[in-house]
Chains A and B, each alone.
Chain A
Amino acid sequence: MSDQDYNQGTTDDNSANTATESTPSTSSGSQSSSPGKKESGVLYLGIDLGTSRTSVTASNGVRETVASFVGYPKDVVAKKLLKADVLFGSDAIEKRLSLNLYRPLGEGVLKTSLEGGSEDGDYEGNVRAAKDLIAEIIRRAQPRKDELVYAVIGCPAEASFKNREAILDAARASVDSVMLCSEPFSVAYGLEMLDDVLVIDIGAGTTDLCRMHGTMPEEADQVTMTWAGDSIDAELTRLLQERYPEAQFSIHMVKSIKEKFGAVGELLDAAVVELPVNGKPTPFDITNEIREACQIIIGPIVEGLGKLVGSFDPEFQQKLKDRVLLAGGGSQIKGLDKAIEAEMHRILGSGHVIRVEEPMYGGANGALKIAHDMPAEYWEQLK
């Protein structure tokens, strides 16, 4: 079985169930199952814990994505109506009026609540939401109770110690052993692009830039910026309010519009959307607004790339510019690769951008590959 085989499964594809045993590794020297009651199998999980979406890829063929929203019923009436103690993802967004809604990973790190909780002092609420979100995504990976579960979680490159600690705590409750790694690194590792490559991972809360040069990226090799998906949403909201003040919309509607029509460059398809005006659905052509909003991240990204290239060995700078990997949910904006490439030519003299094939699962796939390659003794020591 190739390294990529287990990355190709889907939730509906249960072919992994009938897969034969993989050939044991010969290098780690510790092939035996860990002592304890769970000895019938090892399930590896690669998790991309994002601001907007959280994805998991598992060695049982399951792949799942859930919007990173967690909602708790506001009162007993809401709880009875919703028939649940906690809702996740699109369910939570849909029922948000009855919920204390949390998006626990604002800007890629644990933050305060959005709605319902106190704005400045609900760190505990966000920690709880993050724990529940991680538990939910692991549950959706459908682990068997009799298997060892080892997880690697991709988190923002510049997540604080306290945040990493909280993420670890959250995961430990649901898995046997867990490790963290930076998101852009896991994307590059999953594609086996370990040397002379620049990774752009555009999430909702942050855009992570990472310079890979055959060793573990250090602080100087990484740049994290808040020019990301949420910035585009905010800019699009501002433009729509400014130019179409009669139109009514919410931030969730703006996000959906961006995901459907998001594009940059001159070859845009017309983006005509229906927005209510005093309750009546009214068509608006917002092609220009979408282009303007999506373009705002290009300048900062290329500026960040310039810093990473400029601080690198001059002999290898050209190689870096020739291998720029565009990943993350934001990479789905049409024409973004070409637009960044054009800006790199303008600012840095040259550049070649490659878009990853699976932007939604690039980070999770890489984390899964890291989990697979991690020697057994390391997992044991971190239990």
Chain B
Amino acid sequence: MKVSEQMSKIPRGDDGVPEDEVPKGAPEDDTVQQHARKLNLVGSSQLTKAVAESVREGLRDQFELTQAQLNAAVRAVGSRLMLRLKAQSKAVRGVPKAAFLKEVQADKDRIDAARETAKRELDAMLEKLKLGQEQNSLREAELVRESQATGQVEDEQLAGRIAAIFASSDGDSAKIREKITELALGSMQGQREKSIDAQMAEHRDQVDGFERRIAKLTNSLELTEEELKKMAKAKNIDLGVGSIYRSVQGLSGEDNDYETKKELMSSIFAANLALQKGKTA
């Protein structure tokens, strides 16, 4: 059996949607309403009561028990049933409503944000598309005008040539056919070449654009690399090389010619102090 045949046998609602795939939480859906009408609503107390009666009747039919024993057995089954139901319902009831709503709200916010982003992108794309369409329309109109102008000239030229062929053929139809065929083929070849030239020019423009873009990006990359080199170099410079001295030195009494050197240092200092004072004066 083909897949399409299998699909056709699946029971479908009025709108053609398979009944098993209809979302159960969609209240506006007619199919769901039909399913809902088939459900019987049973409360927990009713369920407990029904179970208790069923157990009681079952035990009475199968065993000879006193009324007290029957009551005890029914109570035991009822309490165990409630415990089991409570245990199984904990997972659902464990999520507080506020937290659940918060999560839902967060999801909603995310979806809204994504929708906004998508909307902006779509708007931008539409804007671009509109701009492109306008440009294309303008270009198209321009091309049509050019084509019409060129076509008119070419048509006139062609008509002139055909007239010339007729005028020079002396009524020889075979010769006329041959010459007109030659003329038509030449004209068609010319049109094809023009079309190819136009396409080539468009491709060249695109290639030029790409080359300019690549040149810009290459230049930008080079500048970035240069900056990185400078930064690396500057980092090295900043480190510097430490001096062997941790404190100011000065002459030592053990130096050769200590007294002479001391006098010389004093003289150099005095000259520099005078220079500095002269500058500040």
**Residues on A close to B: CB < 8 A?**
1, 3, 6, 14, 16-17, 19-28, 30-34, 40-44, 58-62, 83, 139, 142-145, 147-148, 150, 161, 164-165, 168, 179-181, 189, 192, 194-195, 214-216, 370, 372-376, 378-379, 381-382
CA A368 to CA B161, docked complex, whole Å: 99
CB–CB B244/A19 < 8 A: yes
CB–CB A25/B249 < 8 A: yes
The one of B226, B248, B278 that contacts A83, using a Cβ cutoff of 8 Å: B226
Given A28-B251, A168-B275, A373-B250 in contact, is the A6-B241 Cβ separation under 8 Å? no
Name which residue of chain B comes closest to A24, CB basis. B247
Given A41-B242, A61-B244, A373-B255 in contact, is the A30-B276 Cβ separation under 8 Å? no
The one of A26, A33, A144 that contacts B240, using a Cβ cutoff of 8 Å: A144
Collect the chain A residues with CB atoms within 8 Å of residue B243's CB: 16, 41-44, 58-60, 144, 147
Collect the chain A residues with CB atoms within 8 Å of residue B273's CB: 381-382
What number of residue pairs across chains A and B have CB atoms under 8 A from each other? 160
Name which residue of chain A comes closest to B253, CB basis. A27
Q: How far apart are A61's CB and chain B's nearest CB, in angstroms?
A: 7
Instruction: Answer whether residue B63 sits at the interface, using C-beta atoms and an 8 A cutoff.
Output: no
CB–CB B244/A375 < 8 A: no
CA A214 to CA B244, docked complex, whole Å: 30
Q: How far apart are B117's CB and chain A's nearest CB, in angstroms?
A: 40
CB–CB A382/B268 < 8 A: no
CB–CB B252/A6 < 8 A: no
CB–CB B247/A216 < 8 A: no
Interface of B is mostly: helix
Collect the chain A residues with CB atoms within 8 Å of residue B262's CB: 27
CB–CB A30/B248 < 8 A: yes
**Residues on B close to A: CB < 8 A?**
226, 237-253, 255-258, 260-265, 267-269, 271-273, 275-276, 278-279
Collect the chain B residues with CB atoms within 8 Å of residue A83's CB: 226
Name which residue of chain B comes closest to A149, CB basis. B243
Collect the chain B residues with CB atoms within 8 Å of residue A192's CB: 256-257
Collect the chain B residues with CB atoms within 8 Å of residue A6's CB: 244
Name which residue of chain A comes closest to B256, CB basis. A192
Given contacts A6-B244, A19-B244, A382-B269, 19 further A-B contacts (CB under 8 A): A16-B243, A21-B247, A22-B244, A30-B250, A40-B246, A41-B242, A42-B248, A43-B245, A44-B245, A60-B241, A60-B244, A139-B237, A144-B239, A145-B240, A161-B275, A179-B268, A192-B257, A195-B260, A382-B273
CB–CB A42/B245 < 8 A: yes
CB–CB A27/B245 < 8 A: no
Q: How far apart are B186's CB and chain A's nearest CB, in angstroms?
A: 54
CB–CB B242/A179 < 8 A: no
CB–CB A142/B250 < 8 A: no
The one of A22, A25, A165 that contacts B251, using a Cβ cutoff of 8 Å: A25
Q: How far apart are B134's CB and chain A's nearest CB, in angstroms?
A: 39
CB–CB A16/B241 < 8 A: yes
Q: How far apart are A303's CB and chain B's nearest CB, in angstroms?
A: 28
CB–CB A62/B241 < 8 A: yes
Given A179-B269, A194-B264, A216-B264 in contact, is the A375-B245 Cβ separation under 8 Å? no
Q: How far apart are B262's CB and chain A's nearest CB, in angstroms?
A: 8
Given A16-B244, A179-B272, A189-B264 in contact, is the A145-B252 Cβ separation under 8 Å? no
CA A340 to CA B272, docked complex, whole Å: 34
